[in-house]
Structures are given as structure tokens and as C-alpha cells.
């Protein structure tokens, strides 16, 4: 396929956005998907990074997030923003306060029974390594077998990929045919128009990798021709706040996105990010995240979340990119070095980073879902894993392997006759077989405080035909530990759970019969005593 050459960088590029902005205006006025559960921030709250704010997670048993947050915080603190869907509030904090005061403030907030956590509103960055501006040829589509995949499908417009980023130039000649009719949403200026600032190329480049006009004689070829939602949550410098990213993920899920691309990250773990990703996963969304560009063995959040496919970057020869983060959380690898895609100002450029690798996976996921629309989120994730190619890297570098579009389309995920989510499952024989999978985790809790201490874990079923699951807890001899479970992937609490073993001292055990695709989550809570505990799980299949 012949590609157009790059435009003259001296040209004076102008935008004719009037026809598209008519749609954007109607989004802002009419509301795209109805109520989003995101409350409007106070007018004085600046867009972008928000270092002087604390995020407060509110229990699902509380009726009003804002009211509970106001009750929990000291009288001189302001609640400046709330998200009812993923249940957190944002509290302003004086910028000149010492670190000790911030720690004491968080301790005071978390003493409330209605508060599950409190954490800083961390700054999240795009994960980009910029490179030469124009291109001679592409290699990523060829490297992952896109030509083979395109013989079957170039991607369906019914499959929606949400790009949470700097915003996509949605009138770019290479992208305007792929933009969803609803365009997207803006979490930076809150003006309803997710158009990027001139030179803020990251989101446009990422979106163009995942989905851009293929074989249309214009610009470059994206991995798929699926629909794109432009969700602007990073500013022109490629940074944004944890709360804005969380709101953007929740909005994307409510907007019906099938795939959310997260080419951004932060070093560390944050409960608000966990809640946002779990919210989307619970609604059947596949989340894809960039591992990070520090070249170390630590995968950034949100890629490190259990609900997110963590993607590392490889070179054109399938060697690991020197900048790519690696680690046990890596699930797939994808080309991420010197990828050609769209840029603002109707331009094209080469960029490198795990930011570029993630949308390659998102695009392949879009192709697979276009070819096999009955795939559930978990089935789609497993299909990408099972069709990935072992390119000779370690598990920490490539996970299940380098993503392969050709294999993902040519391999029938329902070759066993299962037929996907829409087909009825065969009747169970009622007897458990010999297939057994075990898992364990250990940590330390301190239940000496009046409220105690908790840890949470997630587990997805792995046996071919799940039959039963047993979860056992062993705590320190002097303690009193509780175990709470949910079977639908929702967050368990002492007030909201499906099964529990509580008040049983230092040991607890729960056994459940299985007949479906449950996704389990556990809360281990220490009522008294302190020390190391062990959580063991045994899953049996027929």
C-alpha cells in the first residue's frame, strides 16, 4: 500500500473544525451518555496536575460521597470535586503545609468508618520517547502480521477504542474517518471539546496507531479501522492528575467503549486508579496500559493493575527496547520504537515509547473483537495472550509474547465449540475432576487500632471448567482476622460481600461451588492483633 509522504514542515497548517465542532457543541450541551456520575469541579480548580489535593475513597455503604467526605475532613478543608461512580472525593490541602501535617491530615480522614483510603492526587505522565519527525516507511503493521489480519477485517466501526490522553486531532485527514460520532470528552478545560493543543502530539499519535484510515490513500495505516473516542485528560505538557485520569476511565466505560488505551503512567500504586480500572473492567471493557520508559524492572500504574493488560515495547527486530520497563506484570509486548503515526497540524511523525506499543495492542484487540464480536472481556484478553508470538525474550520482558494480529484473526477462539458469551454452556456433570490450581499471598496487617487494617486481592478463574474454590486464611496466633469475598469482581467490604468468614479468630475458610465465570475479590481484615498472615486459594475444575 502506497503511503503519502510527510507534509512540508514549513507549511502553515490551519484547521477547519466548524462542522465537527457542531457535534462537539451538542455533546457539551446535551450530555453525551446521560449522567456520568462525575460532579463538576469548582471554578477555581486548575486543569492538569493538582499537587495540593487529597483523594478520599468513600465506602459503598455510604449514600452520599460528598456529604461523607465533608463529614470526615476538618472544617477548614474544601471538597472540590466528587465522583459518585467510583466513589471518591477530592479535598484541597494547603500547598505550604509541611509533609507531617499532610500525613496527620490523612490519618484523621481515614479514622472515619466511611473512608476506605486517602492518597495524594498524583501527577500522571504520558510515556513517550520522542524521535525523528517524519517517516520513510512503517514497520509495526508488517511486524505484527496486519496484512494477514486485514484480509479478514480492517476493523469494525462498532468497536470503540477510547484513547485517554492529550486529545486526538479529530479532523486530521488520516483520522477523521475513524472518529466516533460522539467525538469524546474533555477533562482538562471541561469545555466539552477534546481537541488537543497545537504541538500536543501524543494523543493524536497514539490514536493514529490504534485506528487510522487503512488503505485509503491518506497518510499512514493504523492497526485497525475501529472507532476512536478522544478523551482529553493530559495537558499540553503530557501530564495530568490522578483524579482526571480516573474520571476519564469511568466516563469511557459509561460511554460504551470496548477498549480503553492508557499510554500514560505513574510510579506507584493508587487506590483511586484501582477503583477506576475495576469500574471499567466490571463493565466489560478491556484496558491496555503502557509499562513505562525507565528501562527498569518496575511496571508503572495503571499498567500494573490486575485489570489492565501491561504492554512492553520491542524494536523492529523483536528485541526488547532499551527504554522499556519490564517485570512480572508484563502481559504482552508490541512494537514501540520509531513508529509512524499522525501528529497535530495534519502532520505525521515518528515516536518511540511504551506509549506507542500500547495502542498497537489496543488496535489488535479491536481487530479481534471485530472478527469475533461475541468475545467477552476476559475471553478477548485470553485470546490475545494465546495468539501472541514467543520472540525469545524472558517472561518479564514479553509476558505471553509479542502481539500478533494475523494469528489473533486467523485463530478461532471458539474452536472448542464454546461459541462465546452468547452461547449456553453445556450442563455440568456435577462432579469435580482432577484439575487443581493453587495460589497464595502473604502480607502483614496491624489490627491494634480501633478500626483495624485491611488488604484486598483479586483472582480470576483459570481451570477449563471451574467446579469449586476454597479460600483459606491463617493469621497470627494472637489476632482476630476476617475474610470477605465477592463473586462478581466488585470490591468486598465488611458491609458488602457475597460470602464471609468473620469473627473466627486466626483462621478462616470459605468454599464455594462454581458454575460460571466468576471473578473473585477478597478482603482480609484484622480486627485485633498484628503480624503476618497467609491467604491460600485452591481452584478445582472438572
**Which residue, of 93, 120, 147, is where some domain finishes?**
120
The pLDDT value recorded for residue 19 is 22
Give the count of beta carbons closer than 10 Å to the beta carbon of residue 18.
Answer: 8
Distance CA 297, CA 325 (A): 6
Indicate which CATH number applies to the domain containing 528. Answer: 2.60.120.380
- DSSP lists the bridge partners of residue 530 as 446
Number of domains in the chain: 3
What one-character DSSP code corresponds to residue 306? Answer: T
The answer to whether the pTM exceeds 0.85 is: no
Taking the chain (542 residues) in runs of 10, the rounded mean pLDDT of each run is: 33 25 23 38 58 87 87 77 91 75 81 88 73 48 80 90 96 91 90 90 95 66 90 93 95 95 94 94 95 95 95 95 96 93 90 95 96 94 95 95 94 73 41 75 73 74 81 77 80 77 72 75 79 84 78
Please say if 267 is a catalytic residue. no
**Which residue, of 65, 95, 120, is where some domain finishes?**
120
Distance CA 105, CA 116 (A): 15
Q: Which value, in Å, is the radius of gyration of the alpha carbons in the chain? A: 24
Distance CA 293, CA 170 (A): 27
Residue 32 domain flag: no
Instruction: Note whether 278 and 215 are same-domain residues.
Output: yes
Structural domain of residue 348, as residue ranges?
Answer: 124-410
What one-character DSSP code corresponds to residue 122? Answer: -
The pLDDT value recorded for residue 336 is 93
Distance CA 175, CA 437 (A): 45
Cell of 486: 465477592
Please identify which of the residues 112, 162, 165, 243 carries the catalytic annotation. Answer: 165
Render pLDDT for 270-304 as a digit per residue (tens, 0 to 9).
Answer: 999 999 999 999 999 999 999 999 999 999 999 99
Please identify which of the residues 202, 205, 220, 525 carries the catalytic annotation. Answer: 202
Residue 37 domain flag: no
Rounded to 5 degrees, what are φ and ψ at 146? -65, -35
Instruction: Note whether 398 and 443 are same-domain residues.
Output: no
Please say if 181 is a catalytic residue. no
The pLDDT value recorded for residue 504 is 56
Please identify which of the residues 224, 355, 362, 370 carries the catalytic annotation. Answer: 355
Residue 11 domain flag: no
Please say if 355 is a catalytic residue. yes
Residue 22 domain flag: no
Residue 38 domain flag: no
Amino acid at each position: 500500500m502506497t503511503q503519502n509522504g510527510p507534509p512540508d514542515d514549513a507549511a502553515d497548517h490551519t484547521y477547519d473544525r466548524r462542522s465537527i465542532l457542531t457535534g462537539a457543541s451538542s455533546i457539551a450541551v446535551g450530555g453525551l451518555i446521560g449522567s456520568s456520575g462525575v460532579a463538576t469541579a469548582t471554578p477555581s480548580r486548575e486543569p492538569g496536575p493538582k499537587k495540593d489535593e487529597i483523594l478520599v475513597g468513600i465506602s459503598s455503604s455510604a449514600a452520599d460521597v460528598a456529604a461523607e467526605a465533608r463529614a470526615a475532613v476538618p472544617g477548614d478543608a474544601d471538597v472540590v470535586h466528587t465522583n459518585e461512580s467510583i466513589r471518591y472525593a477530592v479535598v484541597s490541602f494547603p500547598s505550604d503545609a509541611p509533609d507531617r501535617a499532610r500525613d496527620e491530615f490523612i490519618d484523621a480522614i481515614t479514622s472515619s468508618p466511611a473512608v476506605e483510603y486517602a492518597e495524594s492526587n498524583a501527577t500522571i505522565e504520558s510515556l513517550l520517547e520522542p524521535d525523528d519527525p517524519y517517516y520513510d516507511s512503517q514497520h509495526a503493521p508488517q511486524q505484527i502480521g496486519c496484512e494477514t489480519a486485514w484480509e479478514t477485517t480492517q476493523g469494525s466501526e462498532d468497536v470503540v477504542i477510547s484513547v485517554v490522553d492529550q486529545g486526538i486531532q479529530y479532523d486530521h485527514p488520516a483520522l477523521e474517518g475513524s472518529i466516533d460520532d460522539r467525538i469524546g470528552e474533555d477533562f482538562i478545560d471541561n469545555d466539552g471539546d477534546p481537541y488537543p493543543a497545537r504541538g500536543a502530539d501524543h494523543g493524536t499519535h497514539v490514536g493514529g496507531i490504534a485506528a487510522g484510515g487503512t488503505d485509503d490513500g491518506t497518510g499512514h495505516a493504523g492497526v485497525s479501522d475501529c472507532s476512536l473516542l478522544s478523551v482529553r485528560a493530559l495537558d499540553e505538557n503530557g501530564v495530568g492528575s490522578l483524579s482526571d485520569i480516573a474520571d476519564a476511565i469511568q466516563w469511557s466505560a459509561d460511554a460504551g467503549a470496548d477498549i480503553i488505551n492508557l499510554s500514560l503512567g505513574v510510579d506507584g500504586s493508587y487506590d483511586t486508579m484501582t477503583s477506576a480500572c475495576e469500574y471499567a473492567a466490571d463493565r466489560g471493557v478491556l484496558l491496555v496500559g503502557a509499562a513505562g520508559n525507565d528501562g527498569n524492572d518496575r511496571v508503572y500504574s495503571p499498567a500494573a493493575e490486575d485489570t489492565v493488560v501491561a504492554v512492553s515495547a520491542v524494536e523492529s527486530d523483536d528485541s526488547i527496547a532499551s527504554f522499556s520497563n519490564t517485570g512480572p506484570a508484563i502481559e504482552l509486548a508490541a512494537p514501540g520504537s520509531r513508529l509512524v503515526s499522525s501528529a497535530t497540524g495534519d502532520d505525521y511523525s515518528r515516536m518511540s515509547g511504551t506509549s506507542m506499543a500500547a495502542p498497537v495492542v489496543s488496535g489488535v484487540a479491536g481487530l479481534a473483537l471485530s472478527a469475533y464480536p461475541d468475545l467477552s472481556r476476559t475471553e478477548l484478553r485470553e485470546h490475545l495472550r494465546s495468539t501472541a508470538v514467543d520472540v525469545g525474550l524472558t517472561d518479564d520482558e514479553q509476558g505471553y509474547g509479542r502481539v500478533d494480529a494475523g494469528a489473533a484473526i486467523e485463530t478461532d477462539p471458539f474452536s472448542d465449540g464454546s461459541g462465546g458469551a452468547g452461547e449456553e454452556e453445556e450442563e455440568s456433570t456435577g462432579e469435580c475432576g482432577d484439575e487443581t490450581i493453587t495460589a497464595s499471598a502473604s502480607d502483614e496487617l496491624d489490627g491494634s487500632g480501633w478500626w483495624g487494617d485491611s488488604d484486598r486481592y483479586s483472582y480470576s478463574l483459570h481451570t477449563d471448567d471451574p467446579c469449586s474454590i476454597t479460600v483459606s486464611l491463617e493469621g497470627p496466633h494472637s489476632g482476630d482476622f476476617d475474610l470477605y469475598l465477592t463473586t462478581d469482581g466488585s470490591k468486598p467490604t465488611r458491609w458488602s460481600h457475597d460470602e464471609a468468614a468473620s469473627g473466627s479468630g486466626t483462621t478462616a475458610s470459605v468454599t464455594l461451588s462454581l458454575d460460571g465465570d466468576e471473578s473473585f475479590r477478597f478482603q482480609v481484615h484484622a480486627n485485633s492483633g498484628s503480624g503476618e498472615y497467609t491467604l491460600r486459594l485452591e481452584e478445582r475444575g472438572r
